[in-house]
Amino acid sequence: MTIGKQAPKLKAGDEIRILSPSRSLSIVSEKNRLIAQQKLEQLGFTVSFSQHVLESDDFTSSSIESRVADLHEAFADSKVKGILTAIGGYNANQLLAHLDYELIGSHPKRLCGYSDITALSHAIYAKTGLITYAGPQFFTFGMQQGNEYTTAYFQRMMLEEGSIQIQSSPEWSDDTWYLDQDQRIFHRNVGPYAIHEGEAHGTIVGGNLCTLNLLQGTPYMPSLEGTILFVEDDYGSSPATFDRDLQSLLHQPGFDQVRGIIIGRFQQASHMTEKLLRKIISSKKELASIPVIADADFGHTTPQFTYPIGGKASICARNGMIDLEICE
């Protein structure tokens, strides 16, 4: 098992570097970029941008060389204390064989992002032991409504000491907020539910499921032994593809020592239902003896809590009650 080490907590005045290891920040409107920057500055941070953050090619990304250079520069810069990825995408795994993990491990920073960034965050954790974070990206802070929960849990994880008891958000959304900040659609959140009850404590691994599976059989896949897995998927998923991707993860070495699974809320376009998800989970004999929790507040819907990859989680699901606690 990789031994987790953490970068120092952030504090007021610290510099956060924005970079684009997947898609380019240029796909985010200038208006929403400015909102995001101002929000982070209101939280007390200094915001800087990497040299190639707006570079864009035929894949709305940039060259491997540009992305690697920006990442190395951010880790090497002693003024930079945190790193926020601009947005997700499809190709962060292109960088993994080109990274200087000795440089990264010897200059620990708090790197945060989700979706395609799952490949990058887990590779860094697997190769260096540095705890990384699944949570909001720079793009996320451009949201003007319904972002209070996301912001609060980001602050708790990044600035405050001690463990964090995860409470459910009062409402959630899966709308295209970035196209129209005024016409928003919110749904009442009934909270997570237990497919299998039980108790577990373990090391946190996981994020976007189909991206995590890209690491299977590579040096960039963390050990699954003694873990609690956090998994979610996006609008491109379906019940059938989620079933297939989950089964692939179950086949990995060490899965028999996974202690629990927490599943993030599905996007509406996936057409996943509680009935179908229960059927998928019940078909996996590997999961019969461990707690499985669904509809937690992370993934591609909003809002989302921030959690540490390589940190610790405790689950207690008994008699319809669910307690989730995370810490570094």
Express the helix, strand and coil content of the chain in percent, nearest 5 each: 35, 25, 45
Q: Is 115 among the catalytic positions? A: yes
20, 115, 121, 237: which is the annotated catalytic residue? 115
DSSP 228: E
Sheet holding 46-49: strands in order across?
46-49, 15-19, 80-85, 110-113, 132-134, 307-309
Would you tell me how many other CB atoms lie within 10 Å of the CB of residue 190? Answer: 9
């992002």: which residue's tokens? 113
Residue 5 phi/psi, 5° resolution?
-130, 145
Nearest to 315 by CA among 169, 195, 225, 153: 195
Helix boundaries (H) for the chain = 30-42, 64-76, 101-106, 117-128, 148-159, 209-212, 239-250, 274-282
Q: Is 225 among the catalytic positions? A: no
- Which residues lie closer than 8 Å to 167 by C-beta, 6 or more apart? none
52, 122, 196, 300: which is the annotated catalytic residue? 300
Strand 110-113 relative to strand 132-134: parallel, antiparallel, unpaired? parallel
Q: How far apart are CA 52 and CA 86, in angstroms?
A: 11
22, 62, 66, 232: which is the annotated catalytic residue? 232
Q: Which residues are identified as catalytic? A: 115, 232, 300
